[in-house]
Amino acid sequence: MMQRMLTLALCLTPLVAHAADEPIPIEQEPRHKLKFANEHVRYFDVELEPGYESRYHWHRGDGVFVNISSSPTIAQDLGKDPVRRGERAIGETYFIDYGARPKAHRVSNPGTTPYHVIDAEILGGCGPMATVAEGPNQTLLIDNERVLVTRIILHPGESTELYAPCGMLVAVSGGSITLDAESIDMQPAGYKWRQQDQPIKLVNTGKFVFHGVDIRLK
């Protein structure tokens, strides 16, 4: 009996390993937490603790990625060798056109600190922009056919404007802010979706520098 059970286990092992290597939708990967979704964007909060290796998962939509905390990573595209990547800077922001070039991969964290990044997956725009430029206290990072992305650095009491028609504000450092009359305490990787006809005023009402990234959809 024991011999038959051992033989069965050995036969099933390759099947289990094969199933684990089958790519899954990104929202099913355990560390890719879907925090917000509408017809325009899906917002994933991704945090890999030291030693964690993700499952293979698909990226099928264009995405804006913002690093929140840093660690070296090992990325492996399906069917290819793993590639070790150095630490990205906190606040580093980049666009990947997964809509045109879908990819399945897995990522592991070989470091000693968490790897934390957000993925704003772009689904559809909100119409033409009235203002195609960065606001005060903003630095242009990305400008392409899908998005206009800026970095926001506000010292206490400083302000800027977030332009129409829609966008996602991402907190890198966190802090206390107001958006028009709404007071918000944002944590790192916190977000605020907006959709409006007119610019809205963003003010740093806290005691520390607020570092954010604004993703405007075209």
Q: How many helices (H) and strands (E) does the chain have?
A: 1, 19
pLDDT at 115: 98
- pLDDT score of 19: 52
* Banded model confidence at residue 2, pLDDT cuts 50, 70, 90: low
Tokens 């993925």 map to which residue? Answer: 119
pTM of the model: 0.90
Q: Does domain 138-217 have CATH number 2.60.120.10?
A: yes
Give residue-wise pLDDT tens across range 171-187: 999 899 999 989 999 99
- CATH code: domain 23-122 is 2.60.120.10
- β-pair partners for 47: 116
**Dihedral over alpha carbons 210, 126, 94, 201 (to 10 degrees):** -10
- CB 140, CB 152: distance < 8 Å: no
Which pLDDT score, from 0 to 100, does residue 192 have? 98
**pLDDT (0 to 100) of residue 181:** 86
Whether 23-122 shares its CATH topology with 138-217 is answered yes
3-state secondary structure (DSSP) of residue 19: helix
pLDDT digits (tens, 9 = 90+) for 71-113: 999 999 999 999 999 999 999 999 999 999 999 999 999 999 9
pLDDT tens digits along 188-208? 999 999 999 999 999 999 999
Residue owning tokens 């036969």: 11
In the chain, where the domains are located: 23-122, 138-217
Residue pLDDT, tens place only, 14-47 = 444 445 689 999 999 999 999 999 999 999 999 9
CA distance 66 to 45: 10
